[in-house]
Amino acid sequence: MVLYNLAFYFFSLITLASASVVVFSKNIVHSAFALLFTFFGVAGLYVLMMADFLAITQILIYIGGIMVLILFGVMLTNRTIDVQIRTGSIQTFPAMLIVAALAGTLVGIFWSTDWKISPTAIGFEKTAPEIGKMLLTNYLLPFEIASIVLLVALIGAAMIARREKKA
Amino acid sequence: MVEQTLHSLSQFLPETTLTITFCISILAGLILRNKPKVIPVISFAGILLATVFAVRQMGSSQAVFSGMIVVDPFAVFFKLLVGSTAVIIFLFSIYSQEVQSTLKRLVEYSSLLVAMTLGMFLMAGAVNLLMMVLAIELTSLSSYILAGYTKEAPDSSEASLKYIIYGALSTGLMLYGISILFGLTGATDVYAINRSLAATSVNSVALLIAVLLIIAGFGYKISAVPFHFWTPDVYEGAPITITAFLSVASKAAGFAMLIRFFKISFIDFNLLAAHAGGVWGLLQGFEWNKILAILSVLTMTLGNLVAVWQNNLKRLLAYSSIAHAGYMLMGVVVLNDKGLAAVLVYFMVYLFMNLGAFYVVMLVANKVGSEDIDSYKGLGYRSPFISVAMVVFFISLAGLPPTAGFIGKLFLFAALLDARWVWLAVVGALNSVVSLYYYVRVVRNMFLRDPEGSTEPIRFSFPQMAILLLLLVPTLLFGLFYSPIVELANASVLMFGVR
């Protein structure tokens, strides 16, 4: 169990630390690379939650596919490497108050709530067949609608990015 | 399982039709590259067909696709509302210069409108939080793209970008809220959430935070204050046909989900059975309606007060639509079937009057080239018919008799007073007075000011007038003969699984 806890804290640390770099870095290339570690950390957390299929998918699709695409996008876009992202902070004090209050409340409720926990303990089992069955039975509709959502996103991206000849 | 899925498919005809239309529109756009004008006709026919199929679902009440969505009178009502709005928007598009000047992108325009309609149809029926989020995303993604459709215009791109950023934020907040709610109840199905809340008591602060976060998602869709910041910029920057569609259909779909979520998740079914008249008792002693009441007051007051200062008609109508979302929230606050029926009546009325107002703005902008309030000076002399129509729509939006808007407000206030929400009714009435001021400002410019510059009469073609009449006649007619819409609303408050 100690090992499990250690692994959990290790992956959480990777996720949180790299996520902060993504947000706070002023260099967009650094942000993009840090995102790689965020995805990796989340994949590790999935493994700890016995979600083997999800973890593999996360690595294959997010790190292998999406991340590489993002990096390509960043690198190939003109003048992003040397451009400093303009950021500034306004209303620091009120924002701090609100953030502190919200964070306090959230931590408080996470600490004190009796979360609904599955009565049976989940062991390491293959999840892929079960997920496959669910996707084609109970979750058939969301599964199919997701494909339309992606198609819309593709068409939209193509429409916005397409260069048009001046008439 | 196979039989179940096949049965579900047979109850899914409107949505299937839309999906197929979406695919055909794209494919036809690739094949008929030289005839882009054919595509909107295909899309139009598909949406019309889907709406007809939705009519045939009337009276049905069942859950399909393993309880992901339901087909019930409430969902069918909103499908009809969204479907008819989409049909009218396609008619608008024929005469929209913004749309017709970009023929190359007509395929994307019409196919994405179909996709957005599909998203809204799903929003109307979704009873699983997962399905709700997906439906919202489908609707939102299509609308982000369409808001930036005229990408040559800088304010259109700006509108699209602002829309995406606010949309992503609110979806994120909503998903976070859903994750907390899932942790508390162990369910994403709203009926299961209800059962879980009825069986065991949960940490009330956690529940409050979760629901507030979920409200952020719904509030964004219906542009309720304080989640409204995107509305004016998007409404101003987007092509006017899209603005009109968002202001009616997107809001309607958002309301459908909001009402269904609150009613089914938090209603006490035992109390409901005990009381006649469809009074909703709430589980765990939470008075969600107080939160909604505050939201409603903020929304209508801010919408109306800021609208007073607007000089661009699109912005003015944007703030006015925020205010109308506030009025309709009043009906939800009442938490009984009477209030809900009032909301449905209001939506039917709102469809005609709001689309009408946007249509007139579009026609005038086509001829005058501006949406500024100053360009309406003396319009009453240059184009009397269209100006009189605008006056009718504005009187209706302000809620004065003998127009349909009056009937909408009447039923809302009656429901409020019936449930002893007197202070809220008073706030609503005061707000209507404020709204009268900015509507009348436009009317004054049209009739009591002399034209600036050109004084030549503006003429419109016969089909353009016919579309205007299509919206004008119901706005007047429903003000006098309102029993059909009231009966339809009363029949449509029924939801699957309630009673």
Query: Coil, helix or strand for A50?
Result: coil
Residues of A in contact with B26 (CB under 8 A): 155
Q: Is A79 on the interface with B (CB under 8 A)?
A: no
Of B87 and A73, the structure prediction assigns the larger pLDDT to B87
3-class SS of residue B152: coil
Average pLDDT, chain B: 90
Phi, psi of A88 (to 5 degrees): -155, 160
B 9-48 residues inside an 8 A Cβ radius of A: 19, 22, 26
Q: B452-473 pLDDT, tens per residue?
A: 777 788 888 899 999 999 999 9
Q: Does B5 touch chain A (CB under 8 A)?
A: yes
CB of A145 less than 8 A from some CB of B: yes
* Residue ranges of domains in chain B: 294-499
With left for phi above 0 and alpha for psi between -120 and 50, is residue A110 left, alpha or beta?
alpha
When pLDDT is averaged across residues B377-403 and rounded to a whole number, the result is: 90
Contacts of B253 (CB under 8 A, 6+ apart): B78, B82, B119, B120, B123, B124, B135, B139, B221
Q: How far is B259 from chain A (nearest CA, A)?
A: 21
Q: Is residue A40 part of a domain?
A: yes
* Structure confidence by residue, pLDDT tens digits, B223-253: 998 888 899 999 998 999 999 999 999 999 9
CATH number of the structural domain spanning residue A75: 1.20.120.1200
Chain A residues within 8 A of B141 when measuring between CB atoms: 149, 152-153, 156
At residue A100, what are phi and psi to the nearest 5 degrees?
-65, -45
Q: How far apart are CA B256 and CA A125, in angstroms?
A: 40
pLDDT tens per residue, range B104-113? 888 999 999 9
Where a domain ends, among A58, A85, A112? A85
**Closest CA of chain A from B192, distance in Å:** 13
Label the pairing between strands B62-64 and B69-71. antiparallel
A153 and B CB contact within 8 Å: yes
Chain A nearest-CA distance from B226, in A, is: 15
| Count of structural domains, chain A | 2
Put simply, the answer to whether A148 touches B205 (Cβ < 8 Å) is: no
Identify whether residues A5 and A75 lie together within a single domain: yes
CB proximity A114 to B under 8 Å: yes
Distance of CA B337 to the CA centre of its chain: 20
Q: Is residue A62 part of a domain?
A: yes
- Residue A105 within any structural domain of the chain: no
Q: How far apart are CA B290 and CA B282, in angstroms?
A: 12
> Among A62-71, B83-92, B431-440, whose mean pLDDT is lowest?
A62-71
**pLDDT for A108-119, tens place per residue?**
988 888 888 877
Using the beta-carbon criterion (under 8 Å), do A153 and B66 form an inter-chain contact?
no
Closest by CA to B355, choosing from B82, B108, B167, is B82
**Residue A141 and residue A76 in one domain:** no
Residue B260's H or E segment, with its range, is: helix B251-266
Alpha carbons within 13 angstroms on the beta-carbon side of residue A102 total 11
**What are the pLDDT digits (tens) for A85-102?**
666 778 889 999 999 998
Q: Is the pLDDT of residue B282 over 80?
A: no
> CB A33: neighbour CB atoms within 10 A?
18
Q: Containing domain of residue A57, as a range?
A: 1-85
Query: Which comes out higher in pLDDT, residue A92 or B390?
Result: B390
Q: Is B241:B92 a contact under the CB 8 Å cutoff?
A: yes
- pLDDT, greater one: A32 or B280: A32
Tokens representing residue B392 in the block: 């009718």
B56-60 average pLDDT score: 89
**pLDDT score for B336:** 85
Query: Does the pLDDT value for residue B273 go beyond 70?
Result: no
What interface predicted TM-score (ipTM) does this complex get?
0.90
| Res. B322: pLDDT tops 60 | yes
At residue B371, the 3 state secondary structure works out as coil
- Assess B138–A contact: CB distance below 8 Å, yes or no: yes
Token representation of residue B39: 């595509």
Q: What is the mean pLDDT of chain A?
A: 86
Give the chain A residue nearest B103 (alpha carbons).
A167
CA B397/CA B378 separation, integer angstroms: 22
Residue of A nearest to B179 (CA): A115
Residue B266 has pLDDT above 50, yes or no: yes
Q: Which two tokens stand for residue B381?
A: 């002399």
pLDDT at position A167 is 45
pTM more than 0.95: no
Q: Averaged over B281-290, what is the pLDDT?
A: 76
Kindly state whether residue A110 falls inside one of the protein's structural domains. Answer: no
